[in-house]
Amino acid sequence: MAIVAVVIALKTIKRNTMKSKKNYLSFSTNTILSAGLLLALSTASNYIFAQDSVAVSTTTEEGSLITSKEGKKNTLFEKDCLCTDDSLFNEVQFSVIPGISTCSYTRNPKNVYDFSFNLIMGKVYSVRYLELGLILNADESDVSYVQGAGIGNLVGGTVTGVQSAGIFNLTGCVTGVQHAGIINRVKGSFVGVQHAGVANVVTRSFKGAQFGGILNYSDSLIGYQSAGVFNRASYVKGLQVSGVLNRTKNSKGAQLSGVINLADTITGVQIAGVVNRAKTVNGFQLGLVNIADTIDGACLGLVNVIRNGYHRWEVAGDEVFYTNVAYRSGVQKLHTILSVGMIPDKFDSPTWTIGAGLGMSFGRPNKTLLDIDLATQQVIERDRFKNNHLLHKVYVGIDQPISSKLSLAFGVTYNFFFYTKGEENRISEIMPKSFSRESHSGNTLMNGWVGGKVALRFR
């Protein structure tokens, strides 16, 4: 290669001497630089390839070695250059952009590199150990162990190991860890841990843990899914946690959401800050509002809308509040009670009560039931709420059907009334004789008595 450089330099000198002497200085400088550059390249080429032997080895697509007896030396300038197994370029690949790289001209487009380094963007077939790119990495097939890019990674095959990008990762399948500043998109399946600042999208199955700043999506999920806003999966076996919404068709495990959970069928637990909605529940629902067609289990909420559940309107009277209306919703073995009551003897300054509680009914549906209720009522006098005027009740009674739409309920109540000492209150004037009178927390008094309740319930 040194001889070739000298020959080319001499030809350049001969051509330039035909020009005007005014360009003498320019010609001399250019000639010297040209000769020096060619000499440097030839030296680098000989150093890199160091193949003075007559045999050249290359790798077939199947990975076997083929030896050529043509005796050609690989040089940086030959267009038929092969990236061979025993050359530096099968171990390490450097690219500025596709086409400007250490192996721009190659007969085999399916070369696999141990290491790949890309300044702006590199495009190779596959990487076995490490690939780093300042901006973009593009691989037709698989990438193993570590891949990192300042902006994005594009992989047509499977990533095994760790993949990280400042903005996005677009891959075929992943086994390992994937991180992106904005979005991860996997066309196939995923096994491992996935994290994105905005969204994770896996079009097929996902096994492991998925963390998205806003959105997580997968066709099926086995493991854990957490998003700041929205989780979506057709099938979930594990846990979904979101700040706003979880959506799945079939869930075996738990859904936890700050606002709403949606599922067709859930076997496990639904917990939401506002609404739980499912067609079929085999387990437990906890939320402000619970909605379901059928529940085999229990639900606990302020309002429970269960199509095939337990719903009763109740008009009742007891020894203190002669007029009470309550609504019971949920399932028979555990339902919520919302109530309002009134002492109607002083219409100019009535005493009201509003309350909530839990009820449990034991027995066969449409037959005689045993009821146990626990309730707390806030007493309102002269249109004023007094925080320490609370009436706690325990009720034990019978619910006897009269018809398919009506039943009679009656039983015994145990009452505990807390109020401020020295303040007038209507309940203290009309309540029965107390079996207990105690002082609590300074000026707070507690009176306890036994009473009763009779009610009509409408289905």
Q: Cα(153)–Cα(73) distance, rounded to whole angstroms?
A: 35
The CATH fold assigned to 310-458 is Porin (2.40.160)
Whole-number pLDDT of residue 339: 96
Question: CB–CB of 335/343 below 8 Å?
Answer: no
Question: CB–CB of 145/161 below 8 Å?
Answer: yes
Whole-number pLDDT of residue 392: 94
User: What's the 3-state SS for the chain?
Assistant: CHHHHHHHHHHHHHHHCCCCHHHHHHHHHHHHHHHHHHHHHHHHHHHHHCCCCCCEEEECCCCCEEEECCCCCCCCCCCCCCCCCCCHHHHEEEEEECCEECCCCCCCCCCEEEEEEECCEEEECEEEEEEEECCEEEECCCEEEEEEECCEEEECCEEEEEEEECCEEEECEEEEEEEECCEEEECCCEEEEEEECCEEEEEEEEEEEEEECCEEEEEEEEEEEEECCEEEEEEEEEEEEECCEEEEEEEEEEEEECCEEEEEEEEEEEEECCEEEEEEEEEEEECCEEEEEEECCEEECCEEEECCCEEEEEEEEECCCCEEEEEEEEECCEEEEEEEEEECCCCCCCEEEEEEEEEEEECCCCCCEEEEEEEEEEEEECCEEEEEEEEEEEEEEEEEECCCCEEEEEEEEEEEEEEECCCCCHHHHHCCCCCEEEEECCCEEEEEEEEEEEEEEEC
Prediction pTM value: 0.72
Question: Cα separations (Å) of 11 from 4, 26, 32, 77, 131?
Answer: 11, 16, 12, 19, 43
Question: CB–CB of 355/336 below 8 Å?
Answer: no
> pLDDT (tens digit, 0 to 9) for every residue of the chain, 459 residues total?
443 443 444 444 445 444 444 444 343 444 433 434 333 333 333 433 333 333 333 333 333 333 333 333 333 223 333 334 433 346 888 999 888 888 654 556 678 899 999 999 988 889 999 999 999 999 999 999 999 999 999 999 999 999 999 999 999 999 999 999 999 999 999 999 999 999 999 999 999 999 999 999 999 999 999 999 999 999 999 999 999 999 999 999 999 999 999 999 999 999 999 999 999 999 999 999 999 999 999 999 999 999 999 999 999 999 888 899 999 999 999 999 999 998 877 667 778 899 999 999 999 988 999 999 999 999 887 766 666 788 999 999 999 999 999 999 999 999 998 887 766 666 777 777 777 777 766 678 888 999 999 999 998
Whole-number pLDDT of residue 314: 97
Whole-number pLDDT of residue 441: 67
Whole-number pLDDT of residue 64: 34
Whole-number pLDDT of residue 384: 67
Phi, psi of 415 (to 5 degrees): -115, 140
Q: Cα(33)–Cα(118) distance, rounded to whole angstroms?
A: 29
Q: Cα(47)–Cα(2) distance, rounded to whole angstroms?
A: 12
Whole-number pLDDT of residue 35: 39
Whole-number pLDDT of residue 47: 32
Whole-number pLDDT of residue 385: 65
